[in-house]
Homo-oligomer: A and B are copies of this chain.
Amino acid sequence: MSGVRKLVLLGTGLIGGSFALALKRARLVQHVVGVGRNATNLERALDLNVIDEASHDAAAAVAGADLVLLGTPVGQMGALMQQIAPVLAADCIVTDGGSTKQDVSALFRQHLPRHLSHCVPGHPIAGSDLSGAAAAQYGLFEGRRVVLTPFAETAQNALEQVQTLWQQCGARVYTMTPEQHDGIFAAVSHVPHLLAFAYMNAVLAKVDAQPCLDFAATGFRDFTRIAGSHPEMWRDIAVANREAILADLKACASQLQHVIALVEAGNTEGMEDYFATASRARVAWGQRHK
């Protein structure tokens, strides 16, 4: 495989920064340019050698690039694509790290319609409640999964190049349709985040919120970890994957009504069955995903 001469990160955060670090360690990239809105964050990325050059100008930065990774919240991606469209080299591969794929695919189609052969939408499954370049880390993608949702138009060699780079970061790469991707991640990522936000707000609304938080322990810590996530990113995801998220949120709401009914009725047998079904499945999942 060929390495990358010039990688441009549009958005220099956890995903883009960790991707750059992994490729640097594998000696698969010569020069990394970080683009971002936040000067402090870019300075931090330079200091940490996550990037070699910082820029506020996406269009100027992508000149001569052979790989561009969009690593911003999805809401900013359309504008960035629009800025880079006129200056993108014909053989420059464009990929992204967005958590939703139907909307990002639509943005690629809208803003880079003549470039789709070199566009490879992707989602590295390595989310974190941390964000920013300072959170970038070596090994973030090791043993993780990356889902790619190529277009029918995507050239085989562009897809293979992106696959290979992620594999060199230690990830296992899967391809699926944007629809399959968004259905799966609504259920196992987006909805848990929204439930964690909702639960956290329920605690904060209590009159005794402070003593409650004082005595909260490890169960609370793990259950709410994702409630510390980036509000703007999750707003964009909730907009982008609205239909699948709403269907799953409503399914959770009706499961919650079922639990309320079981507790209200003091239905001990029903509760034990219901809890045991969840518990068995979660224990089995934990054993498979060690």
**Secondary structure class of chain A's binding surface, majority of residues:** helix
Nearest opposing residue in chain B for A275, CB measure: B231
In the bound complex, do residue A286 and residue B228 qualify as a contact, i.e. CB atoms below 8 Å apart?
yes
Q: Give CA–CA (A128, B217) in the complex, Å.
A: 10
Return the contact of A215 from the options B125, B229, B271 (Cβ within 8 A): B125
Interface centre among A127, A206, A279 (most CB of B within 10 A): A279
Stretch at the interface among A21-29, A44-52, A156-164, A251-259: A251-259
Residues of B within 8 A of A262 (CB): 238
Q: Is the CB of A220 within 8 A of B189?
A: yes
Per-residue CB contact flags for chain A residues 209-252 toward chain B (1 = under 8 Å, else 0) read: 00111011111111111111111101100110010011011111
What band does the interface of chain A fall in when counting residues whose beta carbon is under 8 Å from B? Answer: 35 or more
Q: Which residues on the B side are within 8 Å of A250 (C-beta)?
A: 260
- Establish whether residues B187 and A274, one from each chain, have CB atoms under 8 Å apart when the complex forms: no
**How many copies, total?**
2
Q: How far is the CA of A257 from the CA of B200 in the complex (A)?
A: 14
Using CB atoms, name the residue of chain B closest to A194. Answer: B259
Q: A127-B217, A187-B206 are in contact. Are A197 and B289 (CB under 8 A)?
A: no
Q: Are B259 and A197 in contact, CB atoms less than 8 angstroms apart? A: yes
Give a binary string over A248-286; 1 marks a CB under 8 Å from any B CB, 0 the rest: 111111011111101110101001111111110111011
A184 and B215 contact, CB distance less than 8 A = yes
**Chain B residues closer than 8 Å to A89, beta-carbon distance:** none
Which chain B residues border A231 with CB–CB below 8 Å? 271-273, 275-276, 279
Q: A218-B127, A223-B223 are in contact. Are A275 and B234 (CB under 8 A)?
A: yes
Q: How far is the CA of A220 from the CA of B225 in the complex (A)?
A: 10
Q: A219 near B189 (CB under 8 angstroms)?
A: yes
**Cα distance A191–B226 in the bound complex, in angstroms:** 17
Q: How far is the CA of A259 from the CA of B264 in the complex (A)?
A: 24
Kindly identify which residue among B147, B197, B259 contacts A279, using a CB–CB cutoff of 8 Å.
B197
Residues from chain B with a CB closer than 8 A to the CB of A260 are 246, 249-250, 253
Quote the shortest CB–CB distance from A252 to chain B (angstroms): 5
A185 close to B215 (CB less than 8 A): yes
Contact yes or no, A228 B268, CB < 8 A = no
Report 13 cross-chain contacts, Cβ distance below 8 Å, ordered by A residue: A125-B217, A184-B208, A184-B215, A188-B212, A196-B278, A197-B259, A198-B252, A200-B281, A219-B226, A227-B279, A228-B283, A234-B275, A238-B263
